Amino acid sequence: MSSSDTILRPEEKTTAGPGVAKTQSFGIGAGIVLLLGAVAWGFALGDGMQRFFHGYLVAFTYFSSIALGALFFVLIMHLMGAKWSVSIRRIAELLTQAFPLLGILSAAIWLPMMLGNDNLYIWTNHEFMETNHLVHAKSGYLNPIFFAARQVLYFALWIGISNYFFKTSCKQDEGGDDDATRRMAKWAAPAMFIFAFSCAFFAFDMLMSIEPEWFSTMFGVVYFAGACISIFALLVLIPLALQRSGRLVHSITVEHYHDVGKLLFAFVFFWGYVAFSQFMLIWGANIPEETGYFLKRWFEGGETGLNLGEMGIWAKITLVMLAMHFIIPFLLLMSRHSKRRVHILAGFSVWMLFWHYLDLYWQVMPALNNHHTWGLAEKSPVFGMLPLDMLLWVGMGLLFMGTVAGKFRKVNLIPIKDPGLAQSLKFENQ
């Protein structure tokens, strides 16, 4: 009998309740209905699904960032041999099981592209590619077939890695194989290298290439920082929801929330650091191919002849984002008090999940009328169809939730035979 068997309280509930089945069926059913409604709405607009695809890209990269953040958490905890996190690691492992769903959802981006729909990425338009020499030089990388192949490769890698760690951890629950922990620590190192490169290039492909003339080697790190913010926010909210239903009441304590709060605070700061560093280096170098990205997000329409006093709506959103995504949470999460008061920390977690979505919205939506700028499509109102964007976000979120809830039903909510569980249960911050 392992030490974890003896230290778990007899009354502790470590499996999901019957409500999870309802969450699964409701999430999948309602998510499919809402997404189908969004597709019908996109067709009805008559713009070649241009508005739909941009809203879809924001929602898709948002939920992909959650699964990627969860995979990073699992890998880094094994790589470091962390014991404090064993009680909450299974929740992250379960979130990585959304990769098959996300892989299917990714086809809604690359499959229409291969069938000739060029309304999301302007570089898929043959006329634009032939007349823009800067982008034409990138055609070996920016082409629909290679783009689709890379997406298939990314998700194949993520599914394979996440399944290995999830299944090995769950198998350990059955047999108490202590060697499984050493094997997972061994494979975490090469898996982390694969994760780092694939996550960065996924961000380059899905988000940075929406502005094909622009490039930034830091862009993948900015996306990674947002992914970490999202997972640490959920590692507060999901355990709290489970505890309110009577699960893991004694296994996850304020000490665990405190450490997750530290990580949330750290990555709020890290996001601010890398986002500003990217801006500072590009703005200081003042290379037209690079500054155009920020001009478009400062001056409404991206006109280069405007002065600093004539900022547009995106500039105002940028300033609000600076305050809401960085300054306010940075100042308030700095306190030990805010990280040890679970309901305060939960409020900040909801706050950061919302602003993470708006950060991705800020990255994608200014590119909505790239085709109009080049005379290839009619102009679409950026803020006139916000309900469609919300429909896509909520619909995909419900589908994500329902899929993950289905996995919650089948396994223990903590790794009950992990040799580090006993230390995790007794963990205290110094």
**Tens-place pLDDT, residues 216-245:** 999 999 999 999 999 999 999 999 999 999
Residue 1: per-residue pLDDT? 38
Q: What angle do CA 161, 105, 101 make, to 5 degrees?
A: 45
List the structure tokens of 291: 């500054």
pLDDT per position as a tens digit, 158-184: 999 999 999 999 999 988 788 999 999
Rounded Cα–Cα distance for residues 82 and 171 (Å): 20
Tally of CB atoms within 10 A around 154: 24
List the structure tokens of 288: 């037209």
Can you tell me the mean pLDDT for 406-426? 94
In the predicted structure, residue 308 carries a pLDDT above the cut 70? no
In the predicted structure, residue 398 carries a pLDDT above the cut 80? yes
In the predicted structure, residue 305 carries a pLDDT above the cut 50? no
Residue 301: per-residue pLDDT? 47
Give Cα separations from 359 to 102, 243, 326, 355, 410 (angstroms). 20, 30, 11, 6, 34
Residue 310: per-residue pLDDT? 58
pTM listed for this prediction: 0.95
User: Phi/psi at 134 (nearest 5 deg)?
Assistant: -65, -45
| 8 Å CB contact between 213 and 138 | no
Residues 273-293 as b/e (b if ≥16 CB within 10 A, e otherwise) read ebbeebbeebeeeeeeebbbb
Give Cα separations from 248 to 5, 7, 44, 230, 276 (angstroms). 15, 13, 47, 22, 39
| 8 Å CB contact between 330 and 276 | no
pLDDT per position as a tens digit, 344-377: 999 999 999 999 999 999 999 999 888 777 666 7
Give 289's Cβ-side CA count (13 Å radius). Answer: 9
| 8 Å CB contact between 149 and 403 | no
